[in-house]
Amino acid sequence: MTGPVLFLATLALTLPVLAQDFDELKIQRLSQGYRFTEGPAWSKDGYLIFSDTPSDRLLKWVPGSDVTVYRTDAHGPAGNAFDAQGRLYTCETRTRRVTRTDKNGRIEVLAETWEGKRLNAPSQIVVSRNGHVYFTDPAFGEQSDHRELDFHGVYHIPPKGPMTLVARSASRPRGIALSPNGRTLYVSNVDDHNIRAWDVDRNGEPAGERVLAAKIEGAPGGIAVDEKGNLWVAGKGIGVYSPEGKRVHWMDMHDVVSSLAFGEADSKTLFLTARAVVFRMRPEAQ
């Protein structure tokens, strides 16, 4: 892991449609030396959590400090998210479950089975402002050899009541995100190379599945939504899509990005996990 942040490059962009109005972005290598990073999530308490999945660790970065280990023996962590109360939600691929860690460090299992069968390997997760949890459950590589379910799923855990199945498919969902108002759920699909969308009702239940964006280059992974509702999608590079599904920009990346998340106090920093490296992207003037 590295200490001081190293400036790598400046990307010239003209994106007036984006929430941040980025004219120039500066990408920094925040830390490196990992096996495969995933699931960046920004806490309102002022720090970043991300996973190094094969190394079985959750890591933490506080601005101005080096990266430290937040948790070992983390059961193959992948996607992470925080709720409005500051609790951490983690998809654990080895135990095939979703957990929630409160601010005292107590870990609670929220999901591990569906209709009596173990989940495949929960991948990415998002939590709405009013506490509804949504996660994807694909299977990759060796995970496919131990499946008990005959489908890949998207699930909803409401604040009260049982978990429900949002979607089931033969293809694999991965990234997941909500619109700023929480009324639209987005899911990327690795095999179909698209992003699907659902309308979310007042009870948090998604309905009206549709393809929002198709023919995405590469295998789409994590999704981050900015304050104007534009979708930033990790794939062969980083694609930026309007809320209507139109691609408005594309950024080529030397490293393959797995996941991304907005953070810091103004939500204008984009954190990128890219295998052995974690990047931080900011407007150059800031």
Residues forming a β-bridge with 267? none
Indicate whether 88 belongs to any domain.
yes
CATH of the domain at 131: 2.120.10.30
In percent, how much of the chain has pLDDT > 90? Answer: 81
Indicate whether 254 belongs to any domain.
no
The radius of gyration computed from the CA coordinates of the chain, to the nearest angstrom, equals 17
Indicate whether 140 belongs to any domain.
yes
Indicate whether 142 belongs to any domain.
yes
3-state SS, residue 183: coil
User: Torsions phi, psi of 142, nearest 5?
Assistant: -65, -25
Average pLDDT value for residue range 180-195: 97
User: Torsions phi, psi of 143, nearest 5?
Assistant: -60, -35
- Which tokens hold the place of 91? 């998809």
pTM (two decimals): 0.91
d(CA 24, CA 284): 6
Indicate whether 282 belongs to any domain.
no
- Which tokens hold the place of 274? 């890219």
**Cα angle at 18 between 255 and 51, to 5 degrees?**
35
Indicate whether 170 belongs to any domain.
yes
Average pLDDT value for residue range 18-31: 68
Q: Which of 95, 6, 103 is nearest to 47 (CA)?
A: 103
Indicate whether 40 belongs to any domain.
no
Round to the nearest angstrom and report the end-to-end CA distance of the chain. Answer: 25
Q: Which range of residues forms the domain containing residue 62?
A: 47-233
The number of distinct structural domains making up the chain is 1
pLDDT tens-place string over residues 54-99: 999 999 999 999 999 999 999 999 999 999 999 999 999 999 999 9
Q: Is the dihedral of CA 43, 48, 50, 56 positive or negative?
A: negative
